[in-house]
Amino acid sequence: MNPKYAFELTANPGHEPTAEYGPRQARILNQSGLAQARDAISSWPGYAPTSLLRLDGLADALGIKALYYKQEGERFGLASFKPLGGAYAVLRRLQAEIRERLNVETNVGDILAGKFSDLAAGVTVTAATDGNHGRSVAWGARMFGCRCVIFINEAVSIGRERAIAAYGAEVRRNPGSYDDAVRTTFETARSEGWHVVPDTTDGETFEAPRDVTQGYAVMAAEAIEQLPADVVPSHIFLQAGVGGMAAATCAQFWQSYGDRRPTSIIVEPEQSACWFHSLQNRRPTVISGDIDSVMAGLACGEISTLAWDILEPGAAWAMTVQDGAAEDCMRLLADGRHGDAPMVAGESGVAGLVGLIALAGDKEARSRAGLTETSSIIVFGTEGATDPEMYRHIVGRTPEEVTA
């Protein structure tokens, strides 16, 4: 029997289903930028496309034709899609600094070989994080030889803090929420002369968050190439915090499929549903109060205005889900409950799948969103067990026991 997950669903009144991918979107994400990102990222040690898994058992249980799951728990040994964005943006900031100081163009190979190590050692990159983005920035900084300072908020687990510090970053715990940590990061960077590598915008920055988002698009491009040639997905369920991953994925499918693009559905924790309310209100809307969620990577109260230019016309629906549903979905995947191979998935990584399961189990909402027995769906498992102790607490087994 399928679980029944509580949810809220709203149509996006700004959705433009037949609109072309226009200049407003292309100034942020485009195929030239994707090619540049792929060329760089594919040259990093350990790069390989992550798996696109077909979950036939769960698809049958949900009454759909096919369900594809992009397994980002395999990415670069960091168990998250985040290195595609944060580490790539670190590289771009360092290349810009080398260009400005030495008036030379650089390639990844020269930087990895240590040709500019003295200069790189004097560059400090910084970011705010709930865990995964900061870990990516720290990993990239170590790979490219930069100093790194990461700001975390009160709710970030000790396990995630240690995982960031393991890559040589200085980690500073900031009072308040993720959004408070973002503000502190920008303020400190201005006073210290550091380079911010944000996954969101403060209204002043553009290039760094654009680079982060462009790096994320590599994940979507891989998925499109991995799909069978005769499959045009009908829906994609995209979890959102500030919206970078959702925007990158929506944009890549939009550019690839045009007016045949899949219906994009944004999924968020109910207590931090900044996209749900922003799309509903047709303007960026801040969520205040206690926004902490077990889906820590999605616990954001303010959207990225950069992502808004893509998702405001590009997303068809937004929905909210509950923490308990995310925990149950982690166990569902770990158990292989419908005959699919057991799988490790993290709290934020399952949110899109939670949205699909919730919607598929509600006859009226399912009909509204156009979900039928002929639907082919893609979800993005954006993290594995990024905090193994938290994973064991929720699932009751270690990641190693699940996959044994």
Annotated catalytic residue, options 70, 82, 309, 340: 82
Beta-bridge partners for 383? 80
Burial group, residue 3, by CB count within 10 angstroms (0-12, 13-18, 19+): middle
The amino acid occupying position 362 is D
Tell me the H-state helices in 3-107.
23-26, 31-41, 56-62, 86-102
Q: Which residue has the tokens 């990158």?
A: 248
Catalytic site residue 130? yes
Q: How far apart are CA 377 and CA 383, in angstroms?
A: 19
Cα angle 251-254-258, degrees, rounded to a multiple of 5: 160
Q: How far apart are CA 263 and CA 286, in angstroms?
A: 25
Q: How far apart are CA 258 and CA 186, in angstroms?
A: 37
Catalytic site residue 82? yes
* Residue 204, CA atoms < 13 Å, CB-side half-sphere: 6
CB atoms closer than 10 angstroms to residue 284: 17
**What single-letter DSSP state applies at residue 51?**
P
Residue 124 backbone phi and psi in degrees, to 5: -110, 125
Name 110's Cβ contacts closer than 8 Å, sequence gap at least 6.
116
Name 42's Cβ contacts closer than 8 Å, sequence gap at least 6.
none
Annotated catalytic residue, options 65, 70, 110, 130: 130
Task: Record the tokens describing residue 348, joined without a space.
Answer: 């934020």
Q: How far apart are CA 388 and CA 397, in angstroms?
A: 10
Q: Which residue has the tokens 């979900």?
A: 371
Q: How far apart are CA 216 and CA 130, in angstroms?
A: 17
Q: Could you tell me the CA-to-CA distances from 299 to 46, 126, 201, 273 in Å, in that order?
A: 30, 20, 16, 8
Cα of first residue to Cα of last residue in the chain, in angstroms, is: 25
Residue 243 backbone phi and psi in degrees, to 5: 110, 5
Beta-bridge partners for 67? 377
The answer to whether residues 199 and 304 touch, using CB atoms and an 8 Å cutoff, is yes
Q: Which residues are tagged catalytic?
A: 82, 130
